[in-house]
Amino acid sequence: MRWLDTVIRLAQVLTLLLVVGPARGAAEPWRAVARVSSDEEQLLLERVRGQSSDLPVLLVADPGPPLELGEPARWRGAEALAGAHRARAVLWFQRTGVMLHIHLAEPGTRHLFVRAAQVKGRPGSLEWSAGAEAVALVVRSALRAVEVGEPLGEEVAVAAPPPEPAEPLRPAVSLVPEPPAPAVRPPGPWQLAVGGQAALDGYGMGGTQGVVLGAGHEGDRLRVRLQLFVGLPAAREDGRTRVGLRQQGGGVWADATLVATPRWRWALGGGVGVLSFSRDTEARVPEVEATPPRTVFALAAGPESSLRWRVSRPFALEAAVAAEGLWGRPVLGYLEAGEFVKHSEGWAVRPRLSVTGVFFP
């Protein structure tokens, strides 16, 4: 593929120039801002971050509409983005069919670097990933050139904006100060979840079921969330006693993205939490003495894997499976002739399945 050879040669030439250039001290971290206008551009930015992780640059995403195509409006838009984020460079993408145009502007030197690459297929496919990696390499080389002070591309000559119409003279001192304009920021990636959960705990054939509630924050690859569980009351009978058991608790869970597309996310992680077991015993025969009601707390921890399907922008469905180890779980039983008779002690590791609806406010 001729375009891929061109991209690789460009990356090699830029790398050679940077290696043989004058030695510089350890660069201070600097900032670049990327205008993100679609789910595909968000995935491309994640690829660029992966390829540029060794550079002292912080890539900030700025969600919004694409920059205007014509000059000088496009250049002024890039300057405005750089000023708003105190960024040294501005990155944006423009798709035309199978061609993806890469733009990197450096307002400080008035240089604009533009390259085009073929990126075919749907985001997340193997064909698309190959093109996305080539794009990320091009952006990495351009960011490296900005870092060492060797601007790429062409210098942009922007005409001065037309003068504003004259206004009537105003008093030197304003009697009523104008309030500052509020800063408008895109909403953060917070999420809320509600659904059902079932777990096999060894205390009975049916296990335990209940309602699960969650709230979390999701970044580019890592998600952290708080999860609460309220179990339904369950009863276990053996002909001599009836034991009522109810479980509830909460914990903190974190996972990392393994595979992501605009609609699907597969993640792997784990968590730790606390479960409470509230039980009461009722004797069914005279020779059995019921133990008094009691609540026992147990530590729960283990791995979890989740699969999420984004139905629409504000809503998704997610299924998660986990294997939780329990430490301090109760032993259920009763007293007979002064001796404790064990009814059940539960499993040390319980498998768990949850299905939730995820809302993105």
Above 80 in pLDDT, residue 102?
yes
CATH of 29-155, one of 3.40.50, 3.30.160, 3.90.220, 1.10.10: 3.30.160
Whole-number pLDDT of residue 25:
44
User: For residue 90, is it left (φ>0), alpha (ψ between -120 and 50) or beta?
Assistant: beta
Above 80 in pLDDT, residue 344?
no
Above 50 in pLDDT, residue 258?
yes
For the domain spanning 190-359, the CATH number is: 2.40.160.20
The pLDDT > 70 percentage for the chain reads 83
- Mean pLDDT, range 168-184, rounded to an integer: 51
Residue with the bigger pLDDT between 224 and 280: it is 224
Give residue-wise pLDDT tens across range 272-293: 999 998 888 887 777 777 777 8
Distance (Å, rounded) from C-alpha 211 to C-alpha 32? 44
User: For residue 124, is it left (φ>0), alpha (ψ between -120 and 50) or beta?
Assistant: left
Of 260, 262, 242, 331, the closest CA to residue 294 belongs to 331
Whole-number pLDDT of residue 178:
55
Confidence of residue 335 (pLDDT cuts 50, 70, 90): confident
Residue with the bigger pLDDT between 334 and 257: it is 257
- Mean pLDDT, range 288-303, rounded to an integer: 87
Tokens of 129: 């990933």
Whole-number pLDDT of residue 68:
78
Q: Specify whether the CB–CB gap between 248 and 230 falls below 8 A.
A: yes
Tokens of 162: 């037309």
Q: What is the pTM of this model?
A: 0.47
Confidence of residue 151 (pLDDT cuts 50, 70, 90): confident
Whole-number pLDDT of residue 18:
46
Whole-number pLDDT of residue 358:
94
Whole-number pLDDT of residue 260:
87
Above 70 in pLDDT, residue 187?
no
Give residue-wise pLDDT tens across range 6-40: 555 655 655 554 444 444 444 578 899 999 988 98
Secondary element (H or E) of residue 222: strand 222-231
Confidence of residue 2 (pLDDT cuts 50, 70, 90): low
- Mean pLDDT, range 303-316, rounded to an integer: 93
Confidence of residue 267 (pLDDT cuts 50, 70, 90): very high
Above 90 in pLDDT, residue 270?
yes
Q: How many CA atoms lie within 13 A of 121 on its CB side?
A: 11
Whole-number pLDDT of residue 14:
53
Domain residue spans of the chain = 29-155, 190-359
Q: Specify whether the CB–CB gap between 3 and 52 falls below 8 A.
A: no
Distance (Å, rounded) from C-alpha 216 to C-alpha 221? 13
74 class by beta-carbon count within 10 Å (0-12 exposed, 13-18 middle, 19+ buried): buried
Asked if the domains 29-155 and 190-359 are classified in one and the same CATH topology, the answer is no
